[in-house]
Amino acid sequence: MMRLRTSFLFISFFILSLGFLEAQKVPAVYVFGDSLVDVGNNNYLNDTFAKAIFPYYGIDFPTKKPAGRFCNGKNAADLIAEKVGLATSPPYLSLASSKVKNKNVSFLSGVNFASGGAGIFKGIDPNYMRSIHLTEQVDYYSQMYEESTKQIEVSTLQKHLSESIFFVVIGNNDIFDYFNSKDLQKKNTPQQFVKSMASSLKVQLQRLYKKGARRFEIAGVAAIGCCPTLRLKNKTECFSEANLLSVNYNENLHSMLKKWQLESKNLSYSYFDTYAAIQDLIQNPTSHGFVDVKAACCGIGELNAEVPCLPSANICTNRQDHIFWDSVHPTEAVTRIIVDRLYNGPSQYTSPVNMKELLHVSIAKSLSPFTFFILLSLLVTCYQTKTN
């Protein structure tokens, strides 16, 4: 009896320290992408209309004010930070503009490079909707990396980056652009277009890899044809062509990642099937308390999707029961469920591992032979106690 208690004590202690290790294991999160993860970069752009600076954006954010998120509350970048126990990584342009003296400190605690409206490609109408597209985001990252190498040991920097998470959410705007541009459609078949999206993304991921990134959390595109603005093209039903293109792109992305991992040493990734996770909510809304899967909560006209969410727009009474916040973005309620699936699985949405397992990969590696020996002895003790 005594031995049993002691073993349990040791095992609990071991599990507790493992939990502690896990909480400590991610030193920083670096975010790249579009409006689904922009936490305020676009507020620093002078020449863009893609800014979340008006009510009712941010109505459910802790400050109850527009917070540069294209959402009623927190977005996926905030919620990922919550999952790993870190503060939300600050927008790159806020660091650049406030001329932070200890730039290495800001860089080492994580940076968000994402920009509303950004795509893998530069976009079809850069004058009207200027954003920081992916190549530029990686340029900014590279600059910060180079500056840091002047301030700290390269090996220290690389160890830090190799343990950090690189969260990438991009591609949605490229697919919107394809449907808005006769020119793009003329130059590329849908198949050619999604293939070039995946290969262009790979080039940028390789640049991050060359500058220390090793652990990637990569989200596929959403069910774009089901967002309110594209439902207007099909009598409020999902627009099939956009959904088909989304699925095709995700397939290309997923196989690109598999190949890339084979070519690259120490690379680990988790791919998240955003499309499947959101389709599940749209098709089974009631099990999660959703009532309206079609209309935007905030906007004007049919499905509240004909005019953007501006101060003069309608706003729904219950933001918890809507899938969509505005004509293209999900509510915080949906984002919470999505981020939970990205972090915890199940495996129908995450491949080859979920984000929690992605963090675990290096924990297993970092267990010393000595720790392994202790664990083994504990297990044996426990087993013996049980059989006695």
Ligand X SMILES: *[C@@H]1O[C@H](CO)[C@@H](O)[C@H](O)[C@H]1NC(C)=O
Question: Rg of the chain over CA atoms, in angstroms?
Answer: 22
How far CA 103 is from CA of 92, 95, 111, in Å, comes to 11, 8, 11
Q: Which stretch binds ligand X (CB under 6 A): 65-73, 98-106, 176-184, 379-387?
A: 98-106
Q: Which is nearer to ligand X, 40 or 345 (CB)?
A: 40
Establish if 371 lies at the interface with ligand X (CB under 6 A).
no
Q: Both tokens of residue 109?
A: 């605690």
**CB-CB neighbours of 139 under 10 Å:** 14
Is residue 177 flagged as an active site residue? no
Establish if 200 lies at the interface with ligand X (CB under 6 A).
no
Q: Which is nearer to ligand X, 183 or 237 (CB)?
A: 237
Task: State the number of binding residues for ligand X (CB under 6 A).
Answer: 17
Establish if 237 lies at the interface with ligand X (CB under 6 A).
yes
Q: Strand order in 268-272's β-sheet?
A: 29-33, 165-169, 215-219, 268-272, 350-351
> Which of 78, 273, 329, 362 is labelled catalytic?
329
> Which of 35, 106, 268, 327 is labelled catalytic?
35
Nearest to 207 by CA among 120, 97, 271, 116: 120
Distance CA 113, CA 77 (A): 11
Q: Which is nearer to ligand X, 55 or 285 (CB)?
A: 285
Nearest to 296 by CA among 335, 318, 323: 323
Is residue 38 flagged as an active site residue? no
Q: Both tokens of residue 41?
A: 């970069």
Q: Which is nearer to ligand X, 243 or 250 (CB)?
A: 243
Establish if 46 lies at the interface with ligand X (CB under 6 A).
yes
> Which of 38, 131, 326, 327 is labelled catalytic?
326
| Nearest distance in Å: CB 240, ligand X | 4
| Nearest distance in Å: CB 110, ligand X | 12
Q: Which stretch binds ligand X (CB under 6 A): 44-52, 70-78, 195-203, 315-323?
A: 44-52
Is residue 329 flagged as an active site residue? yes
Looking only at residues 99 through 158 of this chain, which bind ligand X when binding is defined by CB under 6 A?
A: 102, 104-105, 108, 151-152
Which residue from 10, 14, 44, 260 is in contact with ligand X, where contact means CB under 6 A? Answer: 44
Q: Which is nearer to ligand X, 82 or 136 (CB)?
A: 136
Alpha helices in the chain (DSSP H): 2-25, 76-84, 92-97, 103-108, 134-151, 154-163, 172-180, 182-187, 190-210, 228-231, 240-263, 274-283, 332-344, 355-366, 369-387
Establish if 265 lies at the interface with ligand X (CB under 6 A).
yes
Establish if 11 lies at the interface with ligand X (CB under 6 A).
no
Nearest to 110 by CA among 163, 65, 62, 68: 163
Q: Which stretch binds ligand X (CB under 6 A): 5-13, 184-192, 230-238, 305-313?
A: 230-238
Which residue from 12, 143, 192, 240 is in contact with ligand X, where contact means CB under 6 A? Answer: 240
Distance CA 242, CA 357 (A): 32
Query: Within its chain, how far is the Cα of 182 from the centroid?
Result: 30
Are 14 and 374 within 8 A, CB to CB? Answer: yes
Which residue from 234, 261, 320, 351 is in contact with ligand X, where contact means CB under 6 A? Answer: 234
Distance CA 164, CA 25 (A): 8
How far CA 211 is from CA of 27, 32, 136, 204, 262, in Å, comes to 16, 15, 15, 11, 18
| Nearest distance in Å: CB 99, ligand X | 12
Q: Which is nearer to ligand X, 231 or 341 (CB)?
A: 231
Q: Which is nearer to ligand X, 241 or 302 (CB)?
A: 241
Establish if 282 lies at the interface with ligand X (CB under 6 A).
no
* Catalytic residue list: 35, 326, 329
Residues that bind ligand X (CB under 6 A): 44-46, 102, 104-105, 108, 151-152, 234, 237-241, 265-266
